Amino acid sequence: MPSANIALAVQGLSKAYRIAHNRETHLTLVSALAHKLRHFNRSTETFWALKDVNLEIQQGEVVGIIGKNGAGKSTLLKVLSRITTPTRGRVDLYGRVGSLLEVGTGFHGELTGRENIYLNGAILGMSRSEIRRQFDAIVEFAGVEKFLDTPVKRYSSGMYVRLAFAVAAHLRTEIMIVDEVLAVGDAEFQQKCLGKMKDVASGGRTVLFVSHNMQAVSRLCTRGVCLRSGEVVYDGDVEGAIERYLAEYSEVSREESEPERRPGSGEYRFVWVKPVKEVFAPEEEKVILFRIERRKERPIYGALCAQVFNELGASVCLLDDMWVKHRFPEGDAIEGSLRIRSPWFKPGTYRIDIQIHPPGGHEVIDYFADACSFVVSPQLPYSGAAPEEALKYGTVLADFDWNTRVVTLEEERLSV
């Protein structure tokens, strides 16, 4: 008999997909027809997207489901949303489920925004009067008043996801499932989404949230589940889950990380690259340590270059020591550090590509993609204020402080 406080229970959940491999090329109609008769001989592969997943989530918990691409996050949410069936195991849901998965699911493209709101409510078992009570709040939150009677197939992806999120958040469900809602929409709407999900959770509803945005996961979630290759590798406090995710994210496949397989002429190769710690405060110096080894006898002077990327893959900065006239010393092994001093890093996860190149040249000696990653924390340690709040009110995030002191009455009299 399940506990009265359980929102959902997952036992031995596995999901397999069959992948067909067919490399035969049909040059004639006869060969194509013959292939149809031999289709049972084609090779297939079984891919396990989920492997023996066990979870028990309590009512009112806000759980972040994190992991690298292909870890099984979206598949898990689709099974929990009853969009796809499990191959093995069982899922018990204690309450109605409202899901916002990838853009393009959940709405009927030929129906208007208004019609889709009522359709989704009806699917959830809500009466028309219940939907009507939430209707104005949904429309106001989504900001689609002018397009309410337009078929949603004509909506932009931003409009679509705003309405889909508003429906999932406002229609009364006990469990809310959200997959990468912050990947679409502007910064203001993303903040509205986070605020609304906090409201949903504070009202006692259960939230499952998938995102690559560790800042959002840290701010919103009270528990973290980290997946790798379809298996749960961590289930506990959200800080521990983020640390595990970053460790997984930093791992590069053996083939990619093997120095001799990386691009470059190979006189020198990076052996390892790592931050001094996983999480930095925004204003803190970011320190990256590395080791380089000589692989060839031909003497050559090398310059170092690093490029930092944010979670969306956009370049944040390029740090080339040609600009500061630095050359690393010759030797069989060199260890060093890259120190990045800037308060302008917004909270989030960053990755670094790092390379060695000849001074003044365009050749590459070693290029190490995805060499390491680090996180900038969402809060300043002295105030608890998130820097993105400041960005709502201007285009520059300034480093500043306030200084105050008490002025005595005697000083007041002397200044007159």
Tens of pLDDT, residues 393-415:
443 344 444 443 434 556 556 66
Residue 386 has pLDDT above 60, yes or no: no
Give 308-314's long-range contacts (Cβ < 8 A, gap of 24+).
308/340, 308/350, 308/351, 308/352, 309/350, 309/351, 309/352, 309/353, 310/346, 310/348, 310/349, 310/350, 311/212, 311/213, 311/348, 311/349, 311/350
Q: List the structure tokens of 232.
A: 């749960």
Residue 281, pLDDT score: 86
**Pairwise pLDDT comparison (140 vs 254), residue with the higher score:** 140
Residue 24 has pLDDT above 80, yes or no: no
Question: What value does the mean pLDDT take over residues 100-115?
Answer: 78
- Whole-angstrom CA distances from 279 to 31, 379, 414 are 59, 11, 51
CATH number given to 6-22+39-250: 3.40.50.300
The lowest-confidence range among 57-61, 340-344, 353-357 is: 340-344
Residue 60 has pLDDT above 80, yes or no: yes
**Pairwise pLDDT comparison (43 vs 142), residue with the higher score:** 142
Question: What value does the mean pLDDT take over residues 225-232?
Answer: 94
Residue 17 has pLDDT above 50, yes or no: yes
Fold matches, 6-22+39-250 and 254-379: no
Instruction: Give the phi and the psi of residue 374 in degrees, each rounded to 5.
Output: -150, 165
Percent of the chain with pLDDT over 70: 72
Helix (H) / strand (E) containing 189: helix 187-202
Residue 400, pLDDT score: 40
Question: What value does the mean pLDDT take over residues 318-333?
Answer: 67
Hey, where are the domains in the chain?
A: 6-22+39-250, 254-379
Residue 32 has pLDDT above 90, yes or no: no
Residue 265, pLDDT score: 81
CB crowding 246-275: b at 16 or more within 10 Å, else e: bebbbeeeeeebebeebebbbbbbbeebbb
Residue 11 has pLDDT above 70, yes or no: yes
**How many C-alpha atoms does 403 have within 13 Å on its Cβ side?**
1
Residue 201, pLDDT score: 82
When the pLDDT of each residue in the chain is averaged and rounded to a whole number, the result is 78
The lowest-confidence range among 57-71, 126-140, 362-376 is: 362-376
Residue 193, pLDDT score: 80
Residue 194, pLDDT score: 80
Residue 268, pLDDT score: 85
Is 0.75 topped by the overall pTM? no
Residue 185 has pLDDT above 90, yes or no: no
- Whole-angstrom CA distances from 3 to 41, 58, 179, 236 are 49, 9, 27, 20
Residue 411, pLDDT score: 59
For 254-379, CATH number out of 2.70.50.60, 3.40.50.10540, 2.60.40.10, 3.40.50.1000 equals: 2.70.50.60
Instruction: Give the phi and the psi of residue 238 in degrees, each rounded to 5.
Output: -70, -35
Helix (H) / strand (E) containing 287: strand 286-294
